Amino acid sequence: MSKIIPAAEKVIRARALIQKAREYPVPTEGLGKGDFSYMANVKDLLRQARDLVKFIPQTMGVPAEMKEAVKKIFQEIEDTQRELLH
C-alpha cells in the first residue's frame, strides 16, 4: 500500500520536477529543442509535477495559502513549457 504524501511535500516535489525540466540538457546535435525525445522528456517531467498537485485545490481542509501555491505552480508549469518548447 502506498504512503500518503502531505500537500506541502507534493508542492516541494512539484517544484523540484519543474526545476529538473528546466535543467534537462538540450541536445547539441540534430534538432536541438525540436528533438522529439527532448520534448517528450520535458513534457513528462511537467506532467508529473501537474499530476502531483492537481487535486490539492479540491481537497477539504487545505489552507488558502496552499491553494494559492498550487495556482502558482500551475502558472510556473505553463511558463516553463512555453519557455522550453516554443
State the total domains in the chain: 1
Kindly state whether residue 73 falls inside one of the protein's structural domains.
yes
Q: What is the per-residue pLDDT for 33?
A: 75
Residue 1 pLDDT exceeds 70: no
Kindly state whether residue 46 falls inside one of the protein's structural domains.
yes
Range of the domain at 16: 7-24+32-85
DSSP 63: -
Residue closest to 18 by CA, chosen among 39, 57, 58, 47: 47
Q: What is the per-residue pLDDT for 67?
A: 92
Kindly state whether residue 2 falls inside one of the protein's structural domains.
no
Kindly state whether residue 1 falls inside one of the protein's structural domains.
no
d(CA 40, CA 47): 10
Kindly state whether residue 66 falls inside one of the protein's structural domains.
yes
Q: pLDDT tens-digit profile of 14-71?
A: 999 999 999 998 887 777 777 788 899 999 999 999 999 999 999 888 889 999 999 9
d(CA 54, CA 33): 27
Cell, residue 37: 525525445
Kindly state whether residue 59 falls inside one of the protein's structural domains.
yes
Cell, residue 53: 498537485
